[in-house]
Amino acid sequence: MIKTAIFDLDGTLFVGKTVVPGAAEALERLRLAGIKVFFLTNAGTRTREGVAHKLTNMGLQAVEEEVYCGSYLVAKYIAANFPRKKAFIVGEPGMAEELKAADVPVAEHADIVAVCLDRHLTYEKLAKAHRLLKKGAEFIASNKDHTFPTEHGSMPGAGSIVAALEFSSKKTAHVIGKPNPFAFEIMKKELGLNEEETVMVGDRLDTDVMFAKNAGIKSALVLTGISKKEEIKEKRITPDFVFPSVAELTLP
């Protein structure tokens, strides 16, 4: 029996600024049934608090403790594996805030380059990151998502920025977000989750469903975002459940 449902955000609960019809009701239905609800996004542009605030403003009830986002996960990883090391950020304020909260110093001259989506990316910032990587800095990314969905179609994701730096520096980024199961390891430690009782609900085969497989949990694909049903056979990534949207979500 499923006791915990972890939801991806963009493409699953909303697309751009538009909530998927029935998403709020689906979350409420699960909570009333005694199923714990959490949110897991590769996005590193906001803090946990910022993501919870955004969801609540969209009519999707959430509190900070239910949110696991790219910025928080990168901060946890750096704090645990590179104590006292400084980080240079290619990203937005949410990443800097989570790093500071984890006592990771943020600096121009750094030992680590931390990358997430940066919608204000400049060539100067890219060049600084490149120089640090060439000097031996660690390369850590929130995710390699190629795109993210909007009301106007897909837009370049954090993966496009990571790819530019990988190409120029000849270094490969260590990716913290989905499909890396690191997030579930943190959630197990902080929340006491059980693999057999947990499902990941998302819109991408290559991140959400693969994350579930890597973490040893069940997966549910919704068709409101990036991946389409015909891609299941093409990519040979098979979710446990497939639903047109979260509005139709039913769990055993």
The catalytic residue positions are 8, 10
Q: How far is CA 99 from the centre of its chain?
A: 16
Instruction: Return the exposure string of 228-239: e unless at least 16 CB atoms fall within 10 Å of the residue's CB, then b.
Output: eeeebeeeebeb
At residue 6, φ and ψ (nearest 5 deg) are -105, 125
- Distance separating alpha carbons of residues 64 and 52, to the nearest angstrom: 5
DSSP code of residue 106: B
Query: 126, exposed or middle or buried, with CB in 10 Å at 0-12, 13-18, 19+?
Result: middle
Tokens encoding 82: 């590179």
The H or E element containing residue 241 is strand 241-243
Nearest to 47 by CA among 99, 11, 113, 110: 99
Nearest to 85 by CA among 107, 60, 54: 107
